[in-house]
């Protein structure tokens, strides 16, 4: 979808920051983050986790940024516009939108709070993560697991000067289950299936719930753990086809799930 690249154009059109927040800069000095609008300086991928407060909850995907509003000059519109550190997305049938702009895919019950410049994606094991806009196509096509995305964040932290213990601790703060769960998963303690690469996938059109991944029976509700959601128009344009709920490339290899 063309709308999914809007954030890139939107970001590059700004030429000046009108409002800043000193508390924001001080808070993020701890993590080495200075400006949430400077996307090149931010992690390529981050895990998300659930926040439950009483009867309510949401999915949060943040790396130390407090809530903040910026007023920026948009040279394309010729006007000031407001952007936010995080915005809550509305997800319908797995597609997530903010102000009619698509920001990725998430099929869970809780609403995700998505950082500026990132898109949400469901991992191969059904967990929410976010990818930076310029890395979204690359990483979402790899159908990564939750712990693999945690490893991407860990590598970024090490590259930016954190030692091993510090990087693990920070990843754990944004990982469902905390640092102990991250380290357990990193050692292979949370493999949802022996399936690591999908080579075949199909569903019986005459049955409500009879699907197979690599000839192994899989519930239709669990297909998203193995295949990412894809844009049917892009699949068609590349010579592929979609037979609900699975899409295939021109060689009839499974590439993802249709909306």
4 pLDDT band (50/70/90 cuts)? Answer: very low
Strands 45-47 and 128-132 turn out to be antiparallel
Global pTM? 0.61
Say whether pLDDT at 241 is over 90: yes
Higher pLDDT, 2 or 56: 56
Share of the chain above pLDDT 90, in %: 22
Burial class of 258 by CB neighbour count within 10 A (0 to 12, 13 to 18, 19+): middle
- C-beta separation of 123 from 149 below 8 A: yes
Query: Where exactly are the structural domains of the chain?
Result: 2-186, 201-257
pLDDT at 248: 94
């Amino acid at each position: 979808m063309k709308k999914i690249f809007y954030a890139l154009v939107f970001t590059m059109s700004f030429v000046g920051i009108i409002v800043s927040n000193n508390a924001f800069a001080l808070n993020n000095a701890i993590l080495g983050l200075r400006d949430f609008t400077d996307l090149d300086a931010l992690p390529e991928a981050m895990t998300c986790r659930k926040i439950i407060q009483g009867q309510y909850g949401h999915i949060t995907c943040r790396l130390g940024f407090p809530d903040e509003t910026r007023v920026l000059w948009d040279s394309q519109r010729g006007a000031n516009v407001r952007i936010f550190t995080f915005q809550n997305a509305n997800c319908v049938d797995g597609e997530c939108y903010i102000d009619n702009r698509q920001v990725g895919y998430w099929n869970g019950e809780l609403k995700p709070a998505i950082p500026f410049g990132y898109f949400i994606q469901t991992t191969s094991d059904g967990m929410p993560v976010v990818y930076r806009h310029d890395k979204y196509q690359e990483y979402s096509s790899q159908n990564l697991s939750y712990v693999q995305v945690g490893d991407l964040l860990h590598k970024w932290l090490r590259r930016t000067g954190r030692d091993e213990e510090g990087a693990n601790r920070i990843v754990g703060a944004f990982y469902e289950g905390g640092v102990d769960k991250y380290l357990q998963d990193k050692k292979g303690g949370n493999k949802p299936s022996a399936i690591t690469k999908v080579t075949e996938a199909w569903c019986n059109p005459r049955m409500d719930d009879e699907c197979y991944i690599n000839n192994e029976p899989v519930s239709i509700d669990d297909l998203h753990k193995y295949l990412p959601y894809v844009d049917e128009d892009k699949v068609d344009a590349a010579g592929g086809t979609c037979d609900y709920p699975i899409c295939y490339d021109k060689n009839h290899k499974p590439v993802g799930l249709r909306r």
